[in-house]
Amino acid sequence: MRKIYSSLLLISLLSGLLVAWQWRSHLATAALEQEDPALIDIIHSLEEEDASLENTIAELRDQIEALQKDRSQGKGRLTQLQQEIEKLKLAAGLTPVTGPGIVVTLDDNIAGAQAAKNSSPTTYKPEDYIIHDKNVLYLVNEIKAAGAEAIAVNGQRIVSSTDIRCVGTVILVNSTRLAPPYEIEAIGNPDVLEAAVQRSVDFSFLKSRDFPVKVTRSLSLTLPAYKGGFTQNHVRLVKSGGQQQ
């Protein structure tokens, strides 16, 4: 863009000089009527300078047209690159998304825990009545395998680097501590996703143990973008030919 402005400025200056020289040529032509050989030489010189300036201006105009054409093509390429970046961000989970899908709700069996504690306090085990990280992880994997296009757990977007693990009495997802109830939201074909959850081992086990779990369909879910970072300490890019960068 700076080159275009510079070229336009130069054309303006040269055009001004050309007008001045043409005026001088006009004066010299008037003097030519007096048959002065010296003035005839000046006129010839000015005419040559005029021709040279006209050629220079024509060349600069060609350069401006070429720069404008390149800039226009650059805009098209920039738009294409931006579209490709948006597609990659979508695939990586870095943008909010919306669409139909399911919501799987998992909660601790508080009623069952209280009943077991009252009836048999010596054999009561609290861990038998809470949702564990593996329950959430296995169901997320089942939903992924069923073709879910985007998944979030309690507002935490699931991406390739997401870890789901237990920390004390809470579950850690994307380094964020979550507490029950756990809502797994998944965008995809509701029929397929619901069927995958209903036949999964973990969901069936939790229902058989009277955990308050359920799966519901939704015509429109909105999942947030992943806000964390991607840790890559060991991977390296490979150039063509198998060499590492």
- Do residue 163 and residue 126 come from a single domain? yes
What span, in angstroms and rounded, lies between the C-alpha atoms of 132 and 129? 9
Considering the domain boundaries, does residue 107 fall inside one? yes
| Whether 144 and 204 share a structural domain | yes
Q: Is there a single domain that holds both residue 77 and residue 137?
A: no
156 and 77 together in one domain: no
pLDDT string in tens for the chain (245-residue length): 555 555 544 555 455 544 454 555 555 555 544 555 665 666 567 667 766 766 776 677 677 777 777 776 666 777 777 888 888 888 888 899 999 999 999 999 999 999 988 998 888 898 999 999 999 999 999 999 999 999 999 999 999 889 899 887 789 998 899 999 999 999 999 999 999 999 999 999 999 999 999 999 999 999 999 988 777 778 887 876 656 65
- If we measure between CA atoms, which residue out of 38, 39, 45 comes closest to residue 21? 45
- pTM of the prediction? 0.68
Which residue shows structure tokens 């048999």?
120
Query: Could you tell me if residue 151 is left (phi over 0), alpha (psi between -120 and 50 degrees) or otherwise beta?
Result: beta
**Is the preceding peptide bond at 190 cis, omega within 30 degrees of 0?**
no
Spatial separation of the C-alpha atoms in residues 148 and 138, rounded to whole Å: 14
Q: Is residue 15 part of a domain?
A: yes
Residue 240 belongs to some domain of the structure: no
Asked if residue 117 and residue 70 are part of one domain, the reply reads: no
Q: Do 34 and 142 reside in the same domain of the chain?
A: no
The residue among 92, 119, 139 that closes a domain is 92
18 in a structural domain: yes
CATH of the domain at 106: 3.30.70.1880
Residues 103, 6 share a domain: no
* 9 belongs to a structural domain: yes
Q: How many domains does the chain contain in total?
A: 2
Shared domain check, 44 and 159: no
- In this prediction, residue 32 carries a pLDDT of 47
Q: Which domain holds residue 22?
A: 2-92
Point out which residues pair with 104 in neighbouring strands. Answer: 184, 215
- Residue 80 CA to residue 82 CA, distance in Å, equals 5
pLDDT at 74: 66
Residue 231: the pLDDT is: 75
Find out whether the peptide bond into 126 is cis, omega within 30 degrees of 0.
no
Same domain, 219 and 112: yes
* One-letter amino acid of 86: E
- 120 and 214 in a single domain? The answer is yes
Q: Are residues 67 and 165 in the same domain?
A: no
Q: What is the pLDDT of residue 129?
A: 93
Strand 164-167's sheet: what is its strand order?
164-167, 170-173, 176-178
- Of 96, 218, 104, 114, whose CA–CA distance to 153 is shortest? 104
